[in-house]
Amino acid sequence: MIFVPFFSFLMLLVAYLVVAAIFSLMAPVPTAGAGISDSDLSLVLKSQFIIQTIFGLLAGLIVIVMLVGFPVGLILLITADYQNGKFSFSEAIKFGWQSMKNNFWFLALALVILGAAYYLPSFLNWLIQGQRPAAFWLVVIYTIMMALWILQIVFILSWLKISLNAAQSQALNFQDLLFGLKFKMFFWYVFGSLLYSLIVLGGLFLLVIPGIIWSIKFQFFPYFIVQGDGPIAALKKSAQITRGAKLDLLIFSLLLNLINLAGFLVLLVGLLATAPTISIALAYVFRRLEAAAKATGQGL
């Protein structure tokens, strides 16, 4: 079970080596003169070449280890029946996979709608870059972008609601996608997201690790908002249900990202299967943590 954090560490190490190698390559090459003898210059150039070679070999070796370890670790984690007393990795992923298969066409269509609402504002912004449209059309374009941004948030909340329903084996329908939310949830989500971002950003400034811990601690606040809680209450309840499970949630999140990466590598089409699977799996984990918190009398 230590593979995922180790895999993450290797990725960070590769990034460090690549950056270090780039800076090494960009370093000014000393030339003869200015008090530098030919022998000293030769020694400096040889040392620089050795350092660059070592960086390159280490980066190549670690990439090979990751390429071999990625499928092996993914298979081991999915098939392992690891559980922390509140949720099981394999049980959550298998549940998400089965639910995705049972509702594939509905979830795929909902995902396409969500993706369109998510990326259309960026696409429109890209279209007008470098252009000088008339003031009227500029207003029209930015009005459309604002409307799409609002729809984006609505569809995100709707997707969470669908995932929660799927996690309880409830029937999924388009009414939940389009009309299953209350108007105030939009503002609660925006305010809650702002608070969540400020909390995590503040933690990242405190030597990074607190930011990672707090991002896990408060990550379930949108689910509570969908269930009708305000942003402050949602953040507090998320902190309660993640108590004693943060490390497991970190490992589980890394595993879900690996699964989504596998879907991305299959010509993007695989995301139609992996994205709903991990969404439902995470909602399933949320339900289990919520039930465990209620069972221990944490006042949810």
Query: Which domain does 53 fall in, by range?
Result: 3-79
pLDDT digits (tens, 9 = 90+) for 203-214: 888 877 888 899
83 backbone dihedrals φ, ψ, rounded to 5° = -150, 145
Residues 27 and 153 in one domain: no
Are 221 and 289 found together in one domain? yes
Give me the mean pLDDT over the 34-44 stretch: 59
Write the DSSP string, 133-170.
--HHHHHHHHHHHHHHHHHHHHHHHHHHHHHHHHHTTP
Q: CA-based angle 35:38:39, to the nearest 5?
A: 110
Burial 22-39 (b: 16+ CB within 10 A, else e): eeeeeeeeeeeeeeeeee
Which of 79, 111, 137 is at the close of a domain? Answer: 79
**Are residues 93 and 73 located together in one domain of the fold?**
no
Whether residue 12 is contained in a domain is answered as yes
Total domain count, the chain: 2
* DSSP SS3 for 88: strand
66, 97: one domain: no
Task: Determine the Cα–Cα distance for residues 270 and 89; give it in Å rounded to an integer.
Answer: 21
230: left (phi over 0), alpha (psi -120 to 50) or beta: beta
Same domain assignment for residues 259 and 227: yes
Half-sphere exposure (Cβ direction) of 160: Cα atoms closer than 13 Å: 21
Distance CA 90, CA 87 (A): 9
- Measured between alpha carbons, how far apart are the two ends of the chain, in Å? 31
The model's pLDDT over 129-176, given as tens digits with 9 standing for 90+, comes to: 767 767 777 787 778 878 878 888 888 888 899 999 999 888 887 776
CB 258 within 8 A of CB 93: no
Verify that 140 and 163 share a domain, yes or no: yes
253 in the same domain as 118: yes
pTM (two decimals): 0.70
Q: Which of 81-85, 122-126, 263-267 has the lowest mean pLDDT?
A: 81-85
Choose one of 44, 79, 114: the last residue of a domain: 79
Q: Which of 46, 79, 112 is the last residue before a domain boundary?
A: 79
Place 296 in a pLDDT band, splitting at 50, 70 and 90: confident
72 and 102 housed in the same domain: no
268: left (phi over 0), alpha (psi -120 to 50) or beta: left
My answer on whether 74 and 114 are in the same domain is no
Look at residue 213 and tell me if it is in a domain: yes
Residue 84 lies in a domain: no
145 lies in some domain:
yes
- Indicate if 102 and 155 belong to the same structural domain: yes
**pLDDT for residue 294 is more than 80:** yes
- The pLDDT score that the predictor gives to residue 45 is 65
Half-sphere exposure of 186 (CA within 13 A, CB side): 12
Average pLDDT over the chain, rounded to an integer: 76
Distance, in Å, from the CA atom of 172 to the CA atom of 162, rounded to the nearest integer, reads: 7
Residue 300 is assigned to a structural domain of this protein: no
Cα(218)–Cα(200) distance, rounded to whole angstroms? 9
